[in-house]
């Protein structure tokens, strides 16, 4: 029977990862894969996570099911981490889910079940996996303009113009911070203009926040999602602990719902529970248990915040150095935008041929749309300069 299935290609990023692995060159450089890397090119287990895992091994006394919604304490901590200590918890509910991807999928199921005719609007461009995840949930998708590749800036007027024509009841997927793949975020003023259009059009936010702590800081990066909770009556949020806890393979995330009132929030959570039960039944425990231990222990939490902050500062300094090297090598300011962008990604204005040439000639692996992982940039100034020279040479 399997002969009836369509042939499938691995997705572009997985294909790039495989090609990188097979490349025998010692000086090859992976700017493709979306995981944080330290100055040695490693993705280590964070210290607070390691310590919480040690405690878990010692004192965990059961492997019984956690229930479809996961641990109440984890869920409460995630609401506080994302929406702040002052959030109106009477209208907020949370489910522990397998990663940001799991959150996106179960929340899509919830939204489609609540409002089957709604369109979900995605930024153009967006994280490529949004499209298959939301489509698998049965959502109707459309896109709003977001990014001008030549200036590296958000095309906010075009975004507002498109959203002002969306139908009442439509849903808008917004990257809470550190937009993937562009690194271009809205300013507070621009966010406020987006909220105004959404309010007047009756649109609902679906926030994806996968990089909290990677942009301007853990609290600062939550500004938009918190302001949205104040400005709009309802919202759903897909949060991931993959990046800011480095818990990628453990699959930890949170699906958060803000209802108009407590009764509607409860109804949404009960539906989410049913969706989860009929899908993977219960979330994995290990990673969420570790995140919960970190967030509920003052010393571990402080340690985690410090390490996360050091990762953020490292990426920001790499951005500044890379923009500087490119300014010198290209004799222009066309790459200056890299320094001011946020998070782990930026998108270089390169053609597919230039990207291909960097891979074949220099062993530099960049995703086909020009997205680079800033954390993968060389720490060594001579190597960074060489990369800038290679990029200047293909322009």
Hey, which residues are catalytic here? 127, 208, 210, 243
Q: Shortest approach of ligand PLP to residue 25 CB, angstroms?
A: 26
Site for ligand PLP in 110-139 (CB under 6 A): 127
What does the DSSP 8-state code read for residue 186?
Answer: -
Nearer Cβ to ligand PLP (141/394): 141
Binding window for ligand PLP (CB under 6 A); candidates: 25-33, 63-71, 94-102, 197-205: 94-102
Beta bridge partners of 94: 256
Nearer Cβ to ligand PLP (180/341): 180
Helix/strand number for the chain, H first, E second: 14, 13
Pick from 53, 109, 185, 208 the residue near ligand PLP by CB under 6 A.
Answer: 208
As given in the structure block, the two tokens for residue 234 are 């309802």
Nearer Cβ to ligand PLP (127/195): 127
Helix, strand, coil content of the chain in percent (nearest 5): 50, 15, 35
Q: How far is CA 143 from CA 97, 126, 215, 239, in A?
A: 26, 9, 24, 21
> Which of these, 214, 245, 383, lies nearest to 315 by C-alpha position?
214
Q: Is 183 in the site for ligand PLP (CB under 6 A)?
A: no
CB atoms < 10 A from the CB of 147, how many?
A: 21
Buried (b) or exposed (e) across 375-387, using 16+ Cβ within 10 A?
bbbbeeeeebbbb
Q: Shortest approach of ligand PLP to residue 353 CB, angstroms?
A: 26
Please count the residues of this chain forming the interface with ligand PLP, following the rule CB under 6 A. 13
Buried (b) or exposed (e) across 271-287, using 16+ Cβ within 10 A?
bbbebbeeeeeebbbbb
What region, left, alpha or beta, does residue 389 occupy, with left being phi > 0 and alpha being psi -120 to 50 degrees?
Answer: alpha
Q: Which x/- pattern over 252-271 shows residues binding ligand PLP (rule: CB under 6 A)?
A: -x------------------
Pick from 71, 242, 316, 346 the residue near ligand PLP by CB under 6 A.
Answer: 242
Site for ligand PLP in 28-47 (CB under 6 A): 34
Chain-centroid distance, C-alpha 344: 9
Q: Is 244 in the site for ligand PLP (CB under 6 A)?
A: no
Q: Shortest approach of ligand PLP to residue 371 CB, angstroms?
A: 10
Nearer Cβ to ligand PLP (43/381): 43
Beta bridge partners of 332: none
Nearer Cβ to ligand PLP (91/175): 175
CB atoms < 10 A from the CB of 13, how many?
A: 16
Contact 183, 216 (CB under 8 A): no
Q: Which x/- pattern over 264-303 shows residues binding ligand PLP (rule: CB under 6 A)?
A: ----------------------------------------
Distance between CA atoms of residues 102 and 282, nearest Å: 11
Q: Shortest approach of ligand PLP to residue 323 CB, angstroms?
A: 22
Q: Shortest approach of ligand PLP to residue 252 CB, angstroms?
A: 7
As given in the structure block, the two tokens for residue 17 are 């990862």
As given in the structure block, the two tokens for residue 120 are 């979900």
Pick from 51, 155, 162, 180 the residue near ligand PLP by CB under 6 A.
Answer: 180
Nearer Cβ to ligand PLP (344/388): 344
Nearer Cβ to ligand PLP (91/179): 179
Site for ligand PLP in 221-240 (CB under 6 A): 240
- Interface residue list for ligand PLP (CB under 6 A): 34, 99-101, 127, 175, 180, 208, 210, 240, 242, 248, 253
């Amino acid at each position: 029977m399997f002969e009836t299935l369509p042939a499938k290609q691995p997705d572009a990023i997985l294909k790039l990862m495989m090609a990188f692995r097979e490349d025998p060159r010692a000086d090859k450089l992976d700017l493709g894969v979306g995981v944080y890397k330290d100055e040695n090119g490693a993705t280590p287990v964070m210290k607070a996570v390691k310590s919480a895992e040690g405690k878990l091994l010692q004192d965990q006394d059961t492997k019984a099911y956690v229930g479809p919604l996961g641990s109440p304490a984890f869920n409460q901590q995630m609401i506080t981490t994302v929406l702040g200590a002052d959030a109106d918890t009477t209208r907020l509910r949370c489910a522990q889910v397998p990663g940001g991807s799991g959150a996106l999928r179960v929340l899509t199921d919830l939204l489609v079940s609540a409002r089957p005719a709604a369109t979900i609007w995605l930024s153009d461009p967006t994280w490529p996996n949004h499209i298959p995840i939301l489509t698998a949930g049965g959502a109707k998708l459309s896109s709003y303009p977001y990014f001008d590749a030549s200036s590296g800036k958000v095309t906010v007027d075009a975004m507002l113009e498109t959203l002002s024509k969306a139908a009442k009841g439509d849903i808008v997927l917004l990257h809470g911070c550190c937009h993937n793949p562009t690194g271009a975020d809205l300013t507070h003023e621009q966010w406020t203009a987006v909220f105004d259009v959404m309010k007047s059009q009756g649109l609902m936010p679906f926030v994806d926040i996968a990089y909290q702590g990677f942009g301007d800081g853990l609290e600062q990066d939550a500004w938009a999602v918190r302001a949205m909770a104040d400005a709009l009556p309802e919202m759903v949020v897909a949060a991931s602990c993959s990046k800011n806890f480095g818990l990628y393979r453990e699959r930890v995330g949170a699906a958060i719902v803000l209802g108009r009132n407590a009764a509607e929030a409860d109804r949404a959570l009960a539906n989410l529970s049913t969706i989860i039960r009929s899908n993977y039944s219960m979330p994995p425990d290990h990673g969420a248990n570790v995140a919960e231990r970190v967030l509920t222990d003052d010393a571990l939490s402080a340690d985690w915040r410090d390490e996360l902050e050091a990762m953020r500062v490292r990426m920001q300094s790499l951005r500044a150095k890379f923009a500087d090297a490119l300014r010198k090598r290209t004799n222009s300011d066309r790459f200056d935008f890299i320094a001011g962008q946020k998070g782990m990604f930026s998108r270089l204005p390169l053609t597919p041929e230039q990207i291909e040439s960097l891979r074949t000639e220099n062993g530099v692996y960049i995703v086909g749309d020009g997205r680079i992982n800033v954390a993968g940039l060389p720490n060594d100034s001579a190597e960074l300069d060489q990369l800038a020279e290679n990029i200047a040479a293909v322009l």
